[in-house]
Amino acid sequence: MDHHAHVLVAGNIGAGKSTLVAALARMRGWTPVYEPAEANPYLDDFYREMSRWAFHSQVFFLVHRARLHQQAAQLPGIVVQDRSLYEDAEIFAYTLYRQGHLSERDYRTYRALYEMFRDLLPPPDLVVYLQASVETLQRRIARRGRAYEHRISRSYLAALNQRYEAWMQGFTAAPVLVLPADHMDFVAQPEWIPHIAAAVERLLQAAARPQRYRFTVQGPWQPGAPVLLPLDGGKASAPGPGPSVVERQP
């Protein structure tokens, strides 16, 4: 594809977003955009004392994510971005507010800032959502060994997962490709990457409607099964190269 396309890779902590973005960029030559290069100076304090530092940490992430979104929207070719400002507000800030870590006053101030950015920035062309269980998230978080993440509780991950599912069901700004990340280890099985890239390209080329498409396989969950990409929501009628079937979801 020669024209511009902005693809957001969304998912909970430890789902595999950065790994997928890096792999797609290497394989296809797409431009990667990662989480803010400048470390969040509040993050370690936040995981130690959420109620005190939640507002500071979320505003830092939001401002930096908005800047990255703006930059990504102006780059040529296909751009794949690790996490989005939508998630900062609709998942993390919302969950912190519901859990009592953000006051009503702080949350309203934060939402006003987020809604201004959201309305000013162009929407993405596609969202790739890595859907993973809490067990998978905990295993991958432990594997990458970031010290500050050791304080993340199972209940917090579960609350984030619930919010991700609710948000994705109502997201209408762009089409969403759902990847069942429990079955996909992009480090141990890099064979998945070309098939995911092909699915992304087909959805972008087809100018898919803003709805959910689920990446699945015909047969066991391992690379090499037949593939078809029915964008009209129909059933696969013939095999093709690769392991994926993308089925439209209501």
Task: Yes or no: say if 225 and 217 are a contact pair by the CB < 8 Å rule.
Answer: yes
Q: Left if phi > 0, otherwise alpha if psi is -120 to 50, otherwise beta: which for 14?
A: left
- In this structure, what token pair is assigned to residue 152? 């993340």
Q: How far is CA 61 from the centre of its chain?
A: 15
Sheet holding 78-82, edge to edge: 31-33, 78-82, 5-11, 126-131, 176-180, 212-216, 245-249
Q: Mind telling me the catalytic residues?
A: 82
Contacts of 127 (CB under 8 A, 6+ apart): 7, 8, 9, 10, 84, 171, 174, 175, 176, 177
Which DSSP state fits 122?
A: P
Determine contact, residues 47/148, Cβ cutoff 8 Å. yes
